[in-house]
Amino acid sequence: MAVSREGRTPTVAAAREVWPRRRLSWYRFWEGATPYFFVAPVIILICVFIYWPLIYSTYLSFFDWNFVSPTKTYVGWENYTRLIDDPRFARALHGTVIYVLALVPIQVLLPLALALLLWPVRHSRAQSAYRVMLFSPTVIAFSVAAFMWLWIFNPLQGLLNKFLLEGGFERVNWLSDRNTAIWCVIVVSAWKTIGFNLLLYLAALEAVPVDYIEAASLDGANSWQLITSIRWPLITPTFFFVLVTTVISVNDEVFGAINVLTDGGPFESSTNVVYYLYQQGFRFFQIGAASAVSILVFIATILLTWLQFRFVERHVHYG
């Protein structure tokens, strides 16, 4: 690369005086191409590992294949129609609905309440200790979290049942009872995921300009009004972000907990579509069926996200 006497690369204007035309055009080309070099790696990786799989999944969902066979058999919509008749898929759908209905409010609203609760004590010395403690489950692996709870839920030696026995109650087979298994997964998932959203809300509250709050309180607004009319509108973008990302990720997240705690059982009472997909694809090697499920999950996610943008985003105030 040509460097001027001052040790700096000349601008195009300065270069025009110093360089012959050919060099200059190369410099211009290089400068023009640099942004594309900057974005090319991530765009290529995204296309190979995210967008191409979407297309390939769609293709595979019309075939009967078991991973190893050299030939794939075209079966049309059969993979999809078979899902409708599969009672296991129906139970997976049922579980998914319960997980979403239970976990989305927990993950979106509970951290918000916690953040507002923590706010007045944010300057106390204990505050950063609080943050570390409340966030600690979020930084560990979902599976490791599930193992910690597996030990608490253990029917014979687990802490929960020891408590019950000492209190004069009967033991409960938390993970092998079809009424409680799914709630165990929900408890672990809630415990594990509240922290991250709490952090986002705290950051959003911190970004609310102090002037607004001071002006409003000079006008006689009380604490509750400060929350509802100043803080809440200003943190709605974060709320919306949390809502959308939670709805997208909630089904993926519980996979680790399901796999460790219940294996989807008993009688598929704690399974969800992601777990069903995993079993179809990687236990029974029904690649076509697994792909069909993944396409349905994708379409449902797009629809839900679109609905939120359509009906919730209008209440969001972008500062």
Partner 1 sequence: MASMVTAKPSTGASYGGAVSKILIHVVVLLLCAVTIFPFFWMLSTAFKQPDEVFTASIRWLPTHPTLANFPDAFRYFPVAHWFWNSFFIAAMTTLGKLVISVPAAFAFARLRFRFDKFLFAVVLATMIVPGVVTIVPNYVLVSRLGWINTPWGVIVPSLPHAAFYIFLLRQYIRTLPQELIDAARVDGASTWTMLWQIILPNIKPGIAVVTILSFLSGWNQYLWPLLVLNDLNAKTLAVGMQFFTSNTESAQLWGPMMATATLATLPPLILYALAQKQIISTFVTSGIKG
Determine if 106 is a binding residue for partner 1 (CB under 8 A).
Answer: no
Size of the site for partner 1 (CB under 8 A): 120
Which residue among 104, 148, 164, 172 contacts partner 1 (CB under 8 A)?
148
List binders of partner 1 among 252-271 (CB under 8 A): 252, 255-256, 259-260
Residue type, 277: L
What is the CA 283 to chain-centroid distance, rounded?
Answer: 25
Determine if 134 is a binding residue for partner 1 (CB under 8 A).
Answer: yes
Determine if 32 is a binding residue for partner 1 (CB under 8 A).
Answer: yes
Helical segments of the chain, H only: 12-18, 21-46, 52-60, 78-85, 87-118, 127-139, 142-153, 159-166, 181-206, 210-218, 223-225, 232-261, 273-282, 287-311
Of 73-81, 82-90, 95-103, 235-243, the window that binds partner 1 (rule: CB under 8 A) is 235-243
CB closer to partner 1 out of 255 and 269: 255
Binding track, positions 173-212, relative to partner 1; x by CB under 8 A: ------------------x-------xx-xxx-xx--x--
Residue 125 has what DSSP assignment?
T
Determine if 169 is a binding residue for partner 1 (CB under 8 A).
Answer: no
CB closer to partner 1 out of 143 and 173: 143
Please state whether beta strands 73-74 and 63-64 pair in parallel, antiparallel, or not at all (unpaired).
antiparallel
79 closest CA partner among 296, 228, 289, 272: 289
CB contact at 8 A, 206 and 119: no
Rounded to a whole number of angstroms, the minimum distance from the CB of residue 84 to partner 1 is 20
CB closer to partner 1 out of 81 and 252: 252
Rounded to a whole number of angstroms, the minimum distance from the CB of residue 237 to partner 1 is 4
Which residue among 128, 229, 284, 315 contacts partner 1 (CB under 8 A)?
128
**Number of residues in the chain:** 319
Residue 316, Cβ density class (10 Å: 0-12 exposed, 13-18 middle, ≥19 buried): middle
CB contact at 8 A, 22 and 256: no
Determine if 139 is a binding residue for partner 1 (CB under 8 A).
Answer: yes
Which residue among 109, 143, 173, 183 contacts partner 1 (CB under 8 A)?
143
**Would you state the structure tokens that stand for residue 76, as one six-digit string?**
């049309």
Helix (H, G, I), strand (E, B), or coil: what is residue 231?
helix
Which residue among 5, 22, 39, 283 contacts partner 1 (CB under 8 A)?
39
Determine if 159 is a binding residue for partner 1 (CB under 8 A).
Answer: yes
User: Is the C-alpha dihedral spanning 91, 268, 246, 253 positive or negative?
Assistant: negative
Of 72-80, 89-97, 99-107, 145-153, the window that binds partner 1 (rule: CB under 8 A) is 145-153
Rounded to a whole number of angstroms, the minimum distance from the CB of residue 252 to partner 1 is 5
Q: Which residue has the tokens 């129906």?
A: 90
